[in-house]
Amino acid sequence: MKHLNGADGIRGFACLIVISLHSIGFFFNNIQFYTLGMDKLGVWMFFVLSSFLLTRQFIIKGFSSGVIIDYTISRTLRILPAFLICVFIYFKLGMIPKEKLIPTITFRDFYFHLWTIPIEFKYYFILPFSAFMFYLASKRFGTKGLLISCLIISFIFQHFLPINIGVTPAIALYPYIPCFLYGSVAAILIDHVNLDGFLKDYVGAAILLSFICVSPGFINLVSGVYLGPYIIDKYNYVGILISVFIMMYATGCGKIGMLLSSRFLSFIGRYSFSIYLYHVIFLKYISDRHPSSLWWCILSFVISIIAGYVMFNFVERPLLKARKTISSKLIPALRSL
């Protein structure tokens, strides 16, 4: 079983993609048109990585009822309390109106970036089943059977259940299921596929370069055609590249892996959930008062990271301790039923 020294760094990298592009969007209206939709790359990386890491846990611990109960309680206590506190803070600051408070809490509506939380949380209840099915497929049919089954499911979702921009609800889970599935497949394949060849960093660099090349700004620069946020429904294709990238660098190997394992990106990754939850508060407040200011944009970016660190220690860390206490008492009781 390979050690995942680069996982925190990949999470940090995804977080920086989102925060950086949100910063541009809030501060520079004349530039954001060239980056519209690109923040989704960071979100999809979060989706794939989350599924990847959780599937790895199941591979290590197994799929017994006790493990699934432990997983369900852990995920619920990990996400819901922090999310509810975050929503309440946004509400008290006047950023979420009163009429949207209950719908947001109950996953029927969302505020700006918080659309990702209902999607990820809902998939947590599907993940044990999908991870188990892929695990069985790999045991019964090998890596080829695993890949074929994944591609079939991906094809079905892409062609029969695609996202319809402007029609499909933003917090609908089904369009993004392939992203999560790719994470589970990558978690199984990583122990069976050798990705440490001399071309590894060239492939990794090509994947990162492709992310730049698909941006509306780059396409406009090269072709003169402005496509707008066309990328937001390309999660299926981008998710495949992200899963390959994660398989190559989750272990921290290679030059790119070394960068992803750096203290800075690992630091951002450890506090990424809190940074993600609260960064919009500071970006909006400061950009409203200092629009189009590069220095204030950089400052708000730094403040967002510091605030995420603070909120982790004052909100998330105590919740993590409470989660362990509750789990230690609740799991044995449920197992005895």
**Per-residue pLDDT tens digits for 287-327:** 999 999 999 999 999 999 999 999 999 888 888 777 777 77
Between the CA atoms of 229, 90, 8 and 130, what dihedral angle is there, to the nearest 10 degrees? -70
Percentage of the residues of the chain whose pLDDT score is greater than 90: 47
Q: What is the pTM of this model?
A: 0.91
> How does residue 167 score in pLDDT terms, banded at 50, 70 and 90?
very low
Average pLDDT estimate for 72-101: 92
The per-residue pLDDT of the chain, averaged, comes to: 86
Q: Report whether 187 contacts 193 (CB < 8 A).
A: no
- Helix ranges (DSSP H) in the chain: 7-27, 29-32, 39-61, 65-92, 98-105, 116-124, 127-160, 177-189, 200-213, 216-223, 235-249, 254-260, 263-270, 272-289, 294-311, 317-335
Across 201-225, average pLDDT:
84
In this prediction, residue 37 carries a pLDDT of 78
What pLDDT, on the 0 to 100 scale, is given for residue 304? 95
